[in-house]
Structure 1
């Protein structure tokens, strides 16, 4: 699962602080937060001299055009990374023909890319907290583009899978770090709508990918799916060159150096490496198995995304088998996902305006409980099973193709409102499942799973405060 995944879009951007372990439950004596009183005094004095709140280097103080350019660049990068998840789904038959592999094996380039999206943030996320967001985002974007270039030239199927995995691994931190960059650039009162706009792009990509890929691969061959992604990445790199760093600690040190202000030294390298290892590997796994909120959100997100990715195999199979659609015609069906995503964005904005903002006067500034960000997910929980059951039992020869195509819209809407390793393996067994169970019961099986998951956001909304109170981690600052 990608570390950037969350139950609904705006919540991903609510907090620009990392989770701290409660002081009375820390594991060791070398925690990076346990500075001496002298060190804390030095930090406070340096902060006063920097006048950070009023400094033009503070991303909160960027002019409007620079903030708009930043969100546009990050959104374009997110769209690029997400289109690559599904653009190769239309090339399965071409890969089978050229490399002499089975349909399941031909789906591996897609699967490995998605799995890599779940693994990349494990390194890229903590690394950005060490050297800054910008080097990780731009470095990953550039290196991933080089691997994409290599994937377009290979004549060995194993090499194609390897290059696709590496491109996904290096592109993944973009999706993980962009939310941090946005929270560091936009104040809480404007962060919600901007966050919703950004989060639209990673969901548009999986819907647009098959549409683009179907026309490109039919006319030009499967290699042009890689060239297309290369064009997208070059454009994204060009936009990235026009923005800069947003990570506040790095910018503060740069400003201090510019003003000749002495800042406390960084921790020794061995402590930094230890902290990196804890944040990158140990803490996420511990939270996954000991924090109920994390556990159930990850389960919910994994199943939702997995079901979405099963459609990359299931939709072409269904419309090809039942309605005899060609590759490019089947690709056009995925426009339903795009429509569902835009409806999801509209729903999030409506929840922000009519539900969330009405809670603000009831709490101290910036202290609205995070459970109130669950309204979109609670609504969307019904869209998933509705769309799946609708699709399952209307994909028949005696019913127009428009009905199952329309059924994808509420599914995509619900998936957008709710929200990669688990998702990556779904396409590998989708065709076998649809062949063995039939289109109706295969889709219904996914529908029953979605039905079972409906209570999760509602339970978290009701009992979230009690669950958080028992956590070993404190999230004392939230909007």
Structure 2
């Protein structure tokens, strides 16, 4: 019975944390549902309005650099509460904006605040699930990260068409406020913080000051702890080959997702003259691909368990990534050479959207799980390092994507992206073969090897 209760608690934590990610992901893209509305009403240039997406996503990258390591010091729950509260508050000014600054600057602050779930939920899942049971929860988490941005334009498109762009922000404001309530009931999951609370309770109940955690006995000065925690994501980003390569791959995939928020309107609204609402609905194609990939997670878990019968090792997480790597360029080639022409039936670019959604989730779930399993002792910092570069790359997309597709011509811009995806496709295969050697040379990565066994990990180093 107790085990059943523990599993139910883990499921609740996973769903609640993933719901926070959903609110953040929707907030990043919902404004694209009527991206031209503020341009007309506030009489500003379109590139300025596009900054509402750029600044929000840019905040995704900067926020985790301090929110992720601080969560490893103070715990997950307080960071979630503070993060979602400020996300809620700073969504309001954009709904009331009458000048460009009031529209854009709060979006930057909201993005900074909203970044905590994006980088810390992976750590939360690592806190409550054993390695062999972590695949499905990671799939749910990753699914919300990518379903959310696809749901955003659908909701935003119909709201913008029927009620105007301001109501897009009002709906987001209400939704984030409701989501904030989840942070108040979520339990703390970080083991050192829980042990510290337990030790404090025992000291109070027994009056015995000898109850101390190992961290309290080996306590470093607070300033030193904070400096180490804040520097760690940067150090890992530039010194850990696994994080470097996986981050490059995921940054490209993430940029493609935000690129499609502007390329789909070109393909369907501009070339095929669809309405705002119908154009937003075309993102259902990507969602179908994502859901299809989620449905295959049980298969992924079976493959993982079969590959780790003699012991867990991170490279066993790479099978979905190796499967999705060749599908991504196929999707981009189809989109490039069908979306560009009005005489080609609209179903063709939507098929590309389905394939893209499938490949994107397969790649992301696999790579994210690989990073977390490889750096389980520093999961939040590893994810923060990845999120920083991924988000900054995604943030610049709204600035160049429309001119790129217009000046290069739709088909050639898409073809260029497809060729880049071909060039980076070997990354998961390389790490599947040589990842174990790479981890052995790292001071922070797990030393687990195929066939069982694990070297001694060094923890607490910068």
User: TM-score normalised by the shorter chain: which range applies?
Assistant: 0.7 to 0.9
Q: 1: distance between equivalents of 2:135 and 2:433?
A: 22
Q: 2: distance between equivalents of 1:69 and 1:289?
A: 35
Residue 280 of structure 1, CA deviation: 1.7
Q: Contact 2:90–2:110 (CA<8 Å) still a contact in 1? A: yes
Q: Contact 2:30–2:156 (CA<8 Å) still a contact in 1? A: yes
Task: Note the 1:124-273 alignment, pairs <5 A.
Answer: 124-260=67-203, 262-263=211-212, 266=216, 271-273=221-223
Runs of 4+ in 1 over 4 A off after TM superposition: 267-270
Count residues with an aligned counterpart. Answer: 415
Instruction: Give secondary structure in 1 for the equivalent of 2:134.
Output: helix
Provide the residue aligned with 2:408 in structure 1: 437
Provide the residue aligned with 2:227 in structure 1: 277
Provide the residue aligned with 2:430 in structure 1: 459
Could you tell me which runs of 5 or more consecutive residues in structure 1 were left unpaired when the two chains were aligned. Answer: 1-55
The reply to whether residue 428 of structure 1 matches residue 399 of structure 2 is yes
1:22-52 per-position Cα deviation (integer Å, ceiling 9, x unaligned): xxxxxxxxxxxxxxxxxxxxxxxxxxxxxxx
Q: Contact 2:440–2:447 (CA<8 Å) still a contact in 1? A: no
1:380-437 per-position Cα deviation (integer Å, ceiling 9, x unaligned): 1112111110011112222111111121111121111223211111121111011111
1:126-154 per-position Cα deviation (integer Å, ceiling 9, x unaligned): 11111110000111111110001222122
Could you tell me which runs of 5 or more consecutive residues in structure 2 were left unpaired when the two chains were aligned. Answer: 365-390, 453-462
Instruction: Give secondary structure in 2 for the equivalent of 1:362.
Output: coil
Q: Contact 1:104–1:429 (CA<8 Å) still a contact in 2? A: no
Q: 1: distance between equivalents of 2:68 and 2:199?
A: 25
Q: Contact 1:314–1:431 (CA<8 Å) still a contact in 2? A: yes
TM-score relative to the length of structure 1: 0.82
The reply to whether residue 300 of structure 1 matches residue 245 of structure 2 is no
Residue 108 of structure 1, CA deviation: 0.2
Instruction: Give secondary structure in 1 for the equivalent of 2:342.
Output: coil
Moved more, 251-260 or 112-121: 251-260
1:349-384 per-position Cα deviation (integer Å, ceiling 9, x unaligned): 31221x211022223xxxx22111011111111121
Q: 1: distance between equivalents of 2:22 and 2:217?
A: 37
Q: Contact 1:77–1:236 (CA<8 Å) still a contact in 2? A: yes
The reply to whether residue 401 of structure 1 matches residue 340 of structure 2 is no
Provide the residue aligned with 1:383 in structure 2: 327
TM-score relative to the length of structure 2: 0.85
Moved more, 175-184 or 312-321: 175-184
Residue 186 of structure 1, CA deviation: 2.3
Moved more, 343-352 or 403-412: 343-352
Residue 270 of structure 1, CA deviation: 7.5
Q: 2: distance between equivalents of 1:285 and 1:259?
A: 38
Q: Contact 1:95–1:106 (CA<8 Å) still a contact in 2? A: yes
Q: Contact 1:392–1:442 (CA<8 Å) still a contact in 2? A: yes
Instruction: Give secondary structure in 2 for the equivalent of 1:400.
Output: coil
C-alpha RMSD of the superposition: 2.1
Q: 2: distance between equivalents of 1:72 and 1:463?
A: 34
Which structure has more relative contact order (CA 8 Å, sep 6+)? It is: 1
